[in-house]
Structure 1
Amino acid sequence: MTEQLDFSALLPYWPQLLAGLWVTIQLTVMATIGGVALGIFGAALRSGRPSVLSRLWGCYVELIRNTPFVVQLFFIVFGLPNLGLKLTAGEAALLAMLINLGAYSTEIIRAGIQVTPKGQWEAGRVLGLTRSQTFLRVVLPPALKRIYPALVSQCIIVMLGSSVVSQVSYEELTFAANLIQSRTFLSFEVYLATTLVYLALSITMRQLLLMAGRKWLGAQ
């Protein structure tokens, strides 16, 4: 005897699902902006002359890239309070996503900088620009253009990874889905609907970021 699917039973719970989606969107926007900014800073640091700070940043990158996101999140939520730093679930989720995207975007952006012809640095010096001005105005824009699709993909991966923060009771999309499932016991219907929402969010985010890249960087 086959079980009948009942998507109509989910209709009263759509406001909760949409509220969770809105939290996910807010978290993603803040993490994307902050994480990419952190990655640009880290890439500039690691592309310059070797220093203690650049080596420390390299250790941070390797630590984050070689450990699971959920472990990073749990360390922030449960480990930092032992050091006297207490955060709300939302603050911990945002910090974990910032740190994670910052590490990955550092290496993605650094890859674009490494293939920049040295002549661009020299051209900046000839024009009387400082090293910082040369980096921001001459080197960084074409470097971002080269690696932009990879950077967009990483931002989407971090957005999808935000589902993990439901484990610390942060009320984003997956938390809402779990709550609805616990009340309705319609596992297939709830998680199929949630899957479609994540799919739509991923496609929309990719298209918006690619449009922004074409407008501001001329990226393909």
Structure 2
Amino acid sequence: MTYRFDFGVLLPFWEQFLRGCGLTILLATCSIVIGLAIGIVTALAKGSLFRSVRLIATSYVELIRNTPFLVQVFFIYFGLPTLGLALKPWSAAILALSVNCGAFAAEVIRGGIDAIPKGQYEAGAALGLKPLQVFRYIVLKPALRIIFPALSGQFVLALLTTSIVSSISAEELTAVAQSLDTMTFRSFEIYIVATALYLAMSLMFATIFKLVNRACFSYLVK
């Protein structure tokens, strides 16, 4: 049987595809911002003087990094309601992505912090800086320069990972593609277009982050 490609059938739905791209970018952005906050707190907790705090932080990172993201999504969306916490698909998607991003970001941030020589901590203390000031000005800024490429990659990864939340009916590009598939029955063409859009978004943001790193980052770490 010969299959005839007909991408023209999809032209009336270009707005839906663009809307799906916008929702995907918004979902990834919200998740990575919250995830970075979680990651910073977790990285600091892993370096805490209290063993119990270190244990909690390490357990969280290992649990998230060593379990499938789809299981995490299902646990939040289908499991939490049994504890009285029912979330809407988009809220569950943001929570799942943020918790996932936070665990991976924590290791990236911790690696950057560990790369800072211990002598810089002592120099900051000798200057009379408070611990928070030492972390902000002497540790975090140089570490940010080291970890920026990895965090950029984490954003692109989060962008692609958003496709999994379509399994709980959270609206983004993959969910839009699935909806259009049921309307047009043009699966091959629809998922080729969806693949091309994911690729375009990934390359676009990778290029943007490279330009930011090259043109602006030296200013940010002064």
Compute the displacement of 1:215 (Å): 5.3
Amino acid at match of 1:94: I
Is 1:12 aligned to residue 12 of structure 2?
yes
2:2 counterpart SS class: coil
| Residues 126-205 of structure 1 mapped to structure 2, 5 A cutoff | 126-205=126-205
Cα separation, 1, equivalents of 2:215 and 2:83? 44
- Work out whether residues 35 and 101 of structure 1, in 8 Å CA contact, stay in contact via their aligned partners in 2: yes
Cα separation, 1, equivalents of 2:122 and 2:48? 14
Is 1:120 aligned to residue 134 of structure 2?
no
Amino acid at match of 1:46: K
Cα separation, 1, equivalents of 2:196 and 2:10? 14
Compute the displacement of 1:146 (Å): 1.2
Between 1:116-125 and 1:49-58, the stretch displaced more is 49-58
TM-score relative to the length of structure 1? 0.94
Cα RMSD (Å): 1.5
Amino acid at match of 1:4: R
- Work out whether residues 144 and 217 of structure 1, in 8 Å CA contact, stay in contact via their aligned partners in 2: no
Compute the displacement of 1:123 (Å): 1.2
| Residues 48-127 of structure 1 mapped to structure 2, 5 A cutoff | 48-127=48-127
1:148 counterpart SS class: helix
TM-score relative to the length of structure 2? 0.93
1:116-140 per-position Cα deviation (integer Å, ceiling 9, x unaligned): 1011101110111111211111111
1:141-175 per-position Cα deviation (integer Å, ceiling 9, x unaligned): 11121122122112211210100110101111000
- Work out whether residues 10 and 190 of structure 1, in 8 Å CA contact, stay in contact via their aligned partners in 2: yes
Compute the displacement of 1:208 (Å): 2.5
Identity of aligned residues (%): 45
1:39-77 per-position Cα deviation (integer Å, ceiling 9, x unaligned): 122112212424322210110000000000000000000
How many residues were matched structurally? 219
Cα separation, 1, equivalents of 2:33 and 2:211? 16
Cα separation, 2, equivalents of 1:212 and 1:91? 30
Cα separation, 1, equivalents of 2:107 and 2:88? 29
Cα separation, 2, equivalents of 1:88 and 1:33? 20
1:110 counterpart SS class: helix
Compute the displacement of 1:97 (Å): 0.5
* Cα separation, partners in 2 of 1:81 and 1:216, compared to 1, 3 Å: farther
Amino acid at match of 1:64: I
- Work out whether residues 38 and 102 of structure 1, in 8 Å CA contact, stay in contact via their aligned partners in 2: yes
User: Where does structure 2 lack aligned partners over 5 or more consecutive residues?
Assistant: none
Compute the displacement of 1:108 (Å): 0.9
